[in-house]
Structure formats: structure tokens, C-alpha cells
Amino acid sequence: MRKASSWLALVGVLATTTAAADTPGKLRGLVSVSNKDWPEDDAIWVREDSPISWYHNFHWNVTATYAALPQDRLEFVPTLWGGGVNDTEFLANVTEMIRPAGGGDGRAITHIMAFNMPDQPYEYGGSQMTPADAARAWVRNLLPLREDFGIKIGLPLVGDPRGGWVDPFLRNCSGLNKGKDCEFDFVPLHAFGHFGVLKDQIGKFASAFPGKPLWVVEYGYPDQNLTTTQQYFNESLAYLEGHEAVARYSWFGAFRSTVSNVGANMAMLDPWGNLTDIGSWYLGGEATGTPAMPSDMPRTDLCTVDNPCGSSKNAAATVAGLQDLSLWGGIVAFGLLFVLV
């Protein structure tokens, strides 16, 4: 991990020498899934000319490599993945980050997301919460952050806005909030599948929550050949940039192809950490011509019984416990959705 500290130092320098990067029309983001085997990869996404202006990582705390970057350089959006029904740990942790008890500068958090697919079971990567439990957790852990610090809160990230979870949640929440509406400021969503799935998801959420900014916090077209993946990438990026309801998006992708659970071609890095075409385009650069997975490197060479694909070295390996499920199972859930629509 010697390398990690030198990259940290570099990021520290960047933090003090660069102003906020120019962002495209919409806020382009990063799904930060650090891999403990290649901590140096984290710095790629925040290089000086990067258009990426925000990130999330399924966790309440920052990604270590970005700890020194101020919010106006790279906005960290904490997530309460699930739980919090009978405790206020998330509230305490985020409050401590914003306003350290020991004094000193806090982090100016402005947005928070809560609950990763509470309407889906654990086996599909959901946080499997009843509307009533989620409402309790929301009132305990999120409302105070909105009321005390003016932090904008995302609606729980549901798989299906018409699936019958959101309305009881809002009713239960209002019941616990002295009858007042539990307000939310933006609506996060996932979209995995062909371009029609992305359009359909955005259409459904836009009509369910008119006027609310939509955040497409994980999206992509898994397990396709390079041409199809690149066509999808181009088409989806143009669509997201042009859709008036979409405020932010983040491609699922910031990992090496060898550890991808969505097929090699969605990965923004090749097996050695070089940017692929998609990786470079996402950072506003030119095509690199670097294949995500060289044809003479069969995936089976890298995935063995001792190091199976999708386990010890997978993209989500450093995202512990349930959070693993959110990446791996989330794709499964959306694979199903893709089949259904």
C-alpha cells in the first residue's frame, strides 16, 4: 500500500492547486468502488481536467483517496444504504463529519441519499425494508439533517416508482412527522439494460415525481460486445445530457475489466488500469483504442478457483458486507427488470 500514500499526496496537491473543474451541462459523477488491490486507480477519476464533479460510494464516509478534496472540487454524497430503524448512528456520523465535535473545519455536505432499493430483497441487492421501518429510519436519521443543515435528501432509491412501496412510505413518514409531509429534494434511480430501459426508467420516474430532479446514480448496458456498449454509451450520455428532468448521472464503470460484474466492456479501465475508450470519453478525452479486455487474454486466465471472478478481486470487494450486494445483486435485479420491460 506504499503507492496509496503517494497518490494521496498527489490528490492533496491537486486539492490545493485546482479550482472546481468545468462541468458539462449536467453533473457527471462517479460510482466510487475502490479496489484494495489497486488503490492508485482512484486518482484517475480526479485528474486535473476531469469533468467528474461528484461521487457516491454506498457509504456514509468519504473514499479515502478523495478525503483531502473539498466539496467544491469533488462533492461527496453520503448514502445510508439501509438500516437506521432503531439507531441514529448515520445521523451522528454525518453530523460529526459536517461539524466535528473536536472543532476544526467540517465537510460541507449538501446532498444525501438513503436506502438502496428498500423495495427489493437482499438477494437482489435491495436493502429490504418495509415502508414503516424506512419511515422510522428516515425520521431519525435524515429529517434532522435536512432541518438542521438544509441538506437536500433523495427519495429512497426504489427499483420501481409504481411498485407500491413509495406511497405507504410517505404516509408512514408523515405519520411520524406530526402529520407534516416528509419532503424530499431529488429522486435517485438505477437503469441497467438496453437504451429503452434507460428511457423507460427515466420516463416512469419523471411522471411519478414531476418537477423533482432525477439522479441516474448507476446505469449501463451489461454484457454486450464493444460496438453495442459504445453505441449505448454515446446514446445514453447524449440522452442524459439533453433530458430536462435529469440533474446528475454516474456511469457504472470505474473499475478494471477483469473485476467487472457487468461484462468487460462497461469497465472504464483495462486489466492494467489504462483508460479504455469509454473511460477516456467519460473524462472528456479522446478515444484511447485500448481494448477493455485484450482478445488474447481470456477472462478464465484471470479467474481461478483461488481468485474467482466476482469475489476477492471484484470491483466491489472493498465495499463491505451488504454493500457488496448492492452492486452485484442490483445488477441481477435490473437484469430481471430488463427482461420484464
To the nearest whole angstrom, how small is the minimum distance from the Cβ of residue 213 to ligand NAG? 25
Closest by Cα among 257, 206, 259, 190 to 229: 257
* Beta bridge pairs of residue 191: 219
CA distance 341 to 339: 6
Q: Decide if residue 280 touches ligand NAG (CB under 6 A).
A: no
Query: How big is the site for ligand NAG, counted in residues (CB under 6 A)?
Result: 28
Cell of 278: 469509454
Binding status of residue 20 toward ligand NAG by CB under 6 A? no
Contact between 89 and ligand NAG by CB under 6 A: the answer reads yes
Distance separating alpha carbons of residues 310 and 259, to the nearest angstrom: 6
Q: Which is nearer to ligand NAG, 23 or 231 (CB)?
A: 231
**Min separation Cβ 333 and ligand NAG, Å:** 21
With CB under 6 A as the contact rule, the residue among 234, 301, 320, 341 that binds ligand NAG is 234
Q: Using the rule CB under 6 A, give the single segment among 31-39, 50-58, 149-157, 225-233 that binds ligand NAG.
A: 225-233
What are the distances in angstroms from CA 181 to CA 135, 136, 140? 12, 14, 15
Give how far Cα 66 sits from Cα of 7, 43, 224, 290, 296, Å. 10, 8, 31, 26, 35
Half-sphere exposure of 282 (CA within 13 A, CB side): 30
C-alpha 168/C-alpha 54 separation (Å) is 31
Helix 322-340 and helix 195-208: axis angle, to 10°? 100
Per CB under 6 A, contacts with ligand NAG among 120-149 are 131-133
Q: Is 60 in the site for ligand NAG (CB under 6 A)?
A: yes
Measured distance CA(277)–CA(284) in Å, rounded = 10
Nearest approach in angstroms of CB 94 to ligand NAG is: 8
3 lies in the site for ligand NAG, by CB under 6 A:
no
Is position 269 an interface residue for ligand NAG (rule: CB under 6 A)? no
Residue 168 binds ligand NAG, judged by CB under 6 A: yes
Backbone angles phi, psi at 203, to 5 degrees: -60, -45
Measured distance CA(258)–CA(314) in Å, rounded: 8
Inter-CA distances, 63 with 90, 131, 171, 184, 242, Å? 16, 30, 35, 25, 30
Residue from 23, 290, 311, 318 binding ligand NAG (CB under 6 A): 290
5 part of the interface to ligand NAG, by CB under 6 A: no
Does 328 sit near ligand NAG (CB under 6 A)? no
Shortest Cβ 5–ligand NAG spacing (Å): 12
- Toward ligand NAG, which CB reaches closer, 64 or 247? 64
What's the order of all strands across the beta sheet hosting 187-192? 75-76, 54-56, 27-31, 246-251, 214-220, 187-192
Binding segment for ligand NAG (CB under 6 A), chosen from 60-68, 103-111, 158-166, 299-307, is 60-68
- 34, 315 Cβ separation under 8 angstroms: no
35 lies in the site for ligand NAG, by CB under 6 A? no
When the beta carbons of 131 and 188 are compared against ligand NAG, the nearer one is: 131
With CB under 6 A as the contact rule, which of the stretches 9-17, 88-96, 198-206, 296-304 interacts with ligand NAG?
A: 88-96
Q: Which residues bind ligand NAG (CB under 6 A)?
A: 60-62, 64, 67, 85-86, 89-90, 93, 131-133, 168, 171-172, 175, 225, 227-228, 230-231, 234, 272, 274, 281, 287, 290
